[in-house]
Amino acid sequence: MFFRFCLLLLLSLGIAVPAQAEDYMAPSWENLARTLVRFSAVKLSDPPILNDYATLTACDLYETFHPNDFQWKRVQDAVLESARNHIAVFPTGYTYDTPMDLDRYDFQKHFFRLTERTSIRRVNAFLLLRAAELGCGVAEIRSFPHQFRAVLLTPLTIEGLPLAPKDAQELLSQMEADKNTARQIYARFNLRITFIAPLIPMDDHIHYSQDGAQKAQSSVLLNARLDSVDFYKDPARTQLIYHQDDPTGAGGNILRQDSAHDGS
């Protein structure tokens, strides 16, 4: 009875998939596994892939039912059915967070330049996730990549943070009160995945772990566009300073689109 309840709960909740596909999610192995499924980069009809996918997306059920072969098979079947029912809302948007330090205020252009250490020049790749070796308890994930990198079509340059003089003065006053001597702000890049090439099947491109077991390709590139960038006063990213839509097409003082570049 408890097992049937868990399966019904699993199906009714859609294994905790996001309510809206257009949301920007924090990168996690669980979410990125769903994204791979949505873009048909992996096939859940492959038993090893389904096993790892169920482990990643239903970890609690793995820990409870994996010791029993038949119960775990029923969990896998339920996970597969749930994926088919909810694939349209699997995530395609992700956030990439990084701190930045402001340099001196430019009174002519009305913006803060970034320090040399935190400046963004001709960047076209964002490392979304470098996963740990173990995915759930003692389970080793072998059929999914452990590293996910979003790649823009063209590199991005951030020249500075535009602010009117009054707003800039207020920001510096708050930084002084907070003893934020580094003038650190907190950026959030909102990325939309647009394409993922199918992963190379394990039999065609074999990797080996230290114990000799087969593993799938260890990293994957996700084609992406940059929808917007937000800059915040606080690490929790609740106090917005500035928002820029379509930054690679802005052409203003904050973000500049460079000519096509392969990132090498």
CB atoms < 10 A from the CB of 262, how many? 8
- Per the CB < 8 A criterion, the answer to whether 158 and 118 are in contact is no
Burial of 73 (0-12, 13-18, 19+ CB in 10 A): middle
For position 254, what pLDDT does the model report?
53
pLDDT in tens, 177-208: 999 999 999 999 999 999 999 987 655 444 43
Residue 113 binned pLDDT confidence (cut-offs 50, 70, 90)? very high
- Per the CB < 8 A criterion, the answer to whether 141 and 131 are in contact is yes
- Looking at 65, 89, 113, the residue that finishes a domain is 89
Residue 252 binned pLDDT confidence (cut-offs 50, 70, 90)? very low
Residues 79 and 204 in one domain: no
Residues 38 and 117 in one domain: no
Residues 59 and 174 in one domain: no
Distance CA 261, CA 264 (A): 8
- Looking at 35, 61, 89, the residue that finishes a domain is 89
> Tokens 């074999």, residue?
206
Residues 68 and 141 in one domain: no
Give me the residues paired with residue 2 across strands.
none
Residue 199 lies in a domain: yes
Burial of 103 (0-12, 13-18, 19+ CB in 10 A): middle
Residue 264 lies in a domain: no
DSSP E strands in 107-218: the ranges are 111-114, 120-130, 134-136, 139-140, 147-158, 160-162, 184-195, 207-208, 214-215
Domain total in the chain: 2
Query: Could you list the residue range(s) of the whole structural domain that residue 50 is in?
Result: 2-11+20-89
Residues 48 and 178 in one domain: no
Q: What is the pTM of this model?
A: 0.83
Quickly list DSSP for 24-53: EEPP-HHHHHHHHHHTTSS-TTSHHHHHHH
Higher pLDDT, 160 or 254: 160
- Going by C-alpha positions, the residue among 214, 107, 216 that lies closest to residue 169 is 107
Distance CA 161, CA 243 (A): 10
pLDDT in tens, 119-162: 888 899 999 999 865 567 767 888 899 999 999 998 899 888 99
- Looking at 47, 64, 89, the residue that finishes a domain is 89
In this predicted structure, the answer to whether residue 58 has a pLDDT above a threshold of 50 is: yes
Residues 81 and 125 in one domain: no
Distance CA 151, CA 225 (A): 8
CA angle 141, 145, 151 (to 5 degrees): 155
For position 22, what pLDDT does the model report?
66
